[in-house]
Amino acid sequence: MAPMPRRSGSWPLAAGLAAGVALDALLGDPRRGHPVAAFGRAATALEARDYGDSRVRGAAHAAACLLAVTVPGAALHRRTRGRPLGRATATALAVWAVTGARSLHHEAERVRVPLTGHDLASAREMLPNLCGRDPSPLDETEITRAVIESVAENTSDAVVAPLLWGAVAGLPGLAAYRAVNTLDAMVGYRSDRYLNFGWASARLDDAANWIPARVTAALTAACAPLIRRGLVTRVSPWEVLATVHRDGGHHPSPNAGRCEAAFAAALGVRLGGTNVYGGVAETRPGLGEGRVPDPEDIRHAIVLSRAVTVGATALAALIAVVTGA
């Protein structure tokens, strides 16, 4: 029997995913000409022309934006077939552009430092770089909670999800996921303007993140024993998974609740409460049964997020090798 042909598309994709994460860790987001920022400007310009207070208009807007990045991504993916170095390089650059672990951890640390020094004014000033809630009424505890919740959710959105989509769908998967997630951040709000127009973008984002959010929770559980105070391990993986099962579905988001519940359990804190976005208050149920978080927990959340990033990179590379995307 003749040997089966070796699939050349697997290892370059896996190597590119890992190299892209390394580039992000070393360099952070591109400082000039960021592709995601360019996409956002183009989407805003298109919205000025095609906006309408209807779900149909919003779905057409989302489809047009998605096609605008997915088609070139698919074309580049095809062009690099049979060119291992080209595939690996293109994937690494794409991952560098669409992931944001270093920026996430940097912004969280920028809020932690003034909180540790009880400089509430500076912490409030830094918070909008990390999340969209109104910082003006927040005290130290609420700002700390906001940072940890943002680190938890964005570990999935900015790291795990793009890596998994890249592993199963290559360059078009990376481009499509980042487009969907960016559109949700731009128009996926329940405001008067976007309640209908942003509906399709929000639902697409929910669907795209359904599996990655649960993978993030599982990886968080696996990494939980790394989080210690002194010499005492704070929680076991099984306790984290139990908390996710019990509390994760109570969150209004079908995905963010799983990530936040996992981080709450792993850190031994309680998250959830009332958040204000654009003057609109949203009350969210409690996640976890621990104590009130303090600024030191932000540092632990960053460590946990970094560990999940390493785990997600290894998992994505393994999926790429197995599937040969």
Domain ranges for the chain: 10-320
Q: Which CA distances in Å does 63 have to 39, 90, 183, 184, 213?
A: 14, 24, 11, 13, 23
pLDDT in tens, 59-80: 999 999 999 999 999 999 999 9
Q: What is the pLDDT of residue 275?
A: 74
Dihedral angle sign, alpha carbons of residues 143, 103, 165, 178: positive
pLDDT at 171 over 80: yes
pLDDT in tens, 172-217: 999 999 999 999 999 998 788 999 999 999 999 999 999 999 999 9
Distance CA 197, CA 299 (A): 38
Q: What is the pLDDT of residue 5?
A: 43
Going by pLDDT thresholds of 50, 70 and 90, the confidence category of residue 261 is very high
Global pTM exceeds 0.85: yes
| 51 token code pair | 């906006």
pLDDT at 7 over 60: no
Give the residue with greater pLDDT, 152 vs 324: 152
